[in-house]
């Protein structure tokens, strides 16, 4: 099955700085790569996704890049704010989602 690795496991950034989370996947057939944000006591919420026929996608302060050849994809958050503090999960999918282990992001005021 698909194996997704996510780094780093924790990330602390100063408010206003950028945060980058990286994921690699094992199955070259994966064609859909969503990113979820999970706040304490809540379920994961989709924040952005990208399909395998697209290299980059941006939504306001959030962007995702995909390198199919290297089988890795990344989440970029610019101008971080305290409300960006949460656990972020990447996932890769052929028919079902396989999640990474998560990155705990802390934005310091």
Please tell me what DSSP assigns to residue 109: -
Would you give the end-to-end CA distance of the chain in angstroms? 41
Of the pair 16, 46, the CB lying nearest another protein is at: 46
Question: Per CB under 8 A, does 54 bind another protein?
Answer: no
State the nearest-atom distance from the C-beta of 61 to another protein, in Å: 20
Binding mask 72-91 for another protein (x = CB under 8 A): -----------------x-x
**CB-based contact 93:1 (threshold 8 Å):** no
Is residue 44 within the footprint of another protein (CB under 8 A)?
yes
- Asked if 6 contacts 20 with a C-beta cutoff of 8 angstroms, the reply is no
């Amino acid at each position: 099955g698909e194996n997704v690795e996510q780094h780093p496991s924790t990330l602390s950034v100063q408010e206003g700085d950028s945060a980058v989370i990286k994921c690699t996947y094992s199955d070259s057939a994966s064609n859909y790569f969503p990113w979820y944000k999970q706040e304490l006591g809540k379920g994961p919420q989709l924040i952005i996704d990208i399909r395998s026929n697209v290299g980059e996608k941006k939504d306001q302060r959030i962007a995702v890049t995909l390198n199919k050849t290297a089988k890795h994809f990344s989440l970029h958050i610019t101008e971080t704010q305290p409300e960006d503090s949460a656990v972020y999960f990447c996932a890769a999918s052929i028919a079902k989602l396989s999640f990474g282990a998560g990155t705990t992001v802390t934005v310091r005021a």
